[in-house]
């Protein structure tokens, strides 16, 4: 993006503030659904930073994959859990908070030292004519195996989501059935009950 230097600085400040605020919302909100929505805001802010770096393809991939797939998958997982008990803090929760604060401060200090010690100079490498074509060539030549493995993992996740979505809930009055039920399987309404109920309605 060919923007003026002042516009770039203001845009970077706004996107950085949005990303930090959304990240704080992810870890500070007690409602896990609100935290998931804040995580989507973090991903969208990162996509905006990619646009400022003239990485339009990476920004589009960020929105499609992380916001449109990963964040939606997290929301579906939260809704499928169907947690009904209220949140009860552990008696020693303060120890975890202290350890989390120490690790966070350490990581912040490490990243700050890296940012200050790195010479941020312009690269002298020759720019690529069309980055999308170059990325596609690398995907189907040098990184073909990881690309195919990622597609298989996404296919497995899609099949698992379909299986979970096709599960049927038990009726309010559970009818005794001869079908075996184990502890590790989700209760499902037998197919005989479904067909019998549809015959009665007809």
- The answer to whether 59 and 47 have CB atoms below 8 angstroms apart is yes
In this predicted structure, what is the pLDDT of residue 19? 93
| pLDDT on residue 131 | 74
What's the pLDDT at 199? 53
| DSSP structure class, residue 86 | P
Q: How far apart are CA 168 and CA 19, in angstroms?
A: 40
> What class is the 1-84 domain?
mainly alpha
**Mean pLDDT for each consecutive 10-residue tract of the chain (202 residues)?**
78 93 89 88 92 86 86 80 62 82 92 88 64 81 85 80 60 52 50 52 54
Q: Where in the chain is the domain with CATH 1.20.120.1200?
A: 1-84
Dist CA 75 CA 68 (whole Å): 11
Which residue's entry shows tokens 């990162």? Answer: 46
**Contacts within 8 Å (CB) and 24+ apart, 26-32:** 30/87, 32/78
CB 125 within 8 A of CB 134: no
Q: Give residue-wise pLDDT tens across range 78-112.
A: 777 655 556 666 677 778 888 988 998 999 999 99
Query: Tell me, what's the pLDDT at 170?
Result: 43
CA dihedral 126, 132, 138, 141 (to 10 degrees): -130
């Amino acid at each position: 993006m060919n923007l003026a230097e002042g516009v770039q600085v203001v845009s970077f400040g706004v996107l950085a503030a949005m990303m930090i605020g959304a990240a704080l919302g992810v870890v500070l909100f007690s409602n896990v659904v609100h935290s998931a929505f804040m995580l989507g805001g973090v991903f969208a802010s990162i996509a905006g930073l990619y646009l400022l770096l003239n990485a339009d393809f990476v920004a589009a991939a960020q929105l499609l994959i992380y916001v449109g797939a990963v964040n939606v998958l997290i929301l579906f997982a939260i809704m499928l859990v169907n947690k009904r008990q209220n949140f009860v803090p552990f008696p020693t929760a303060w120890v975890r908070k202290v350890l989390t604060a120490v690790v966070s401060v350490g990581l912040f200090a490490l990243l700050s030292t890296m940012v200050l010690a790195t010479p941020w100079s312009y690269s002298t490498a020759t720019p690529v004519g069309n980055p999308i074509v170059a990325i596609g060539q690398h995907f189907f030549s040098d990184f073909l195996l990881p690309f195919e493995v990622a597609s298989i993992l996404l296919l497995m996740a899609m099949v698992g989501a379909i299986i979970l979505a096709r599960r049927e809930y038990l009726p309010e009055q559970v009818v005794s059935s001869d079908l075996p039920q184990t502890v590790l399987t989700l209760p499902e309404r037998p197919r005989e009950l479904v067909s019998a109920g549809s015959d009665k309605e007809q």
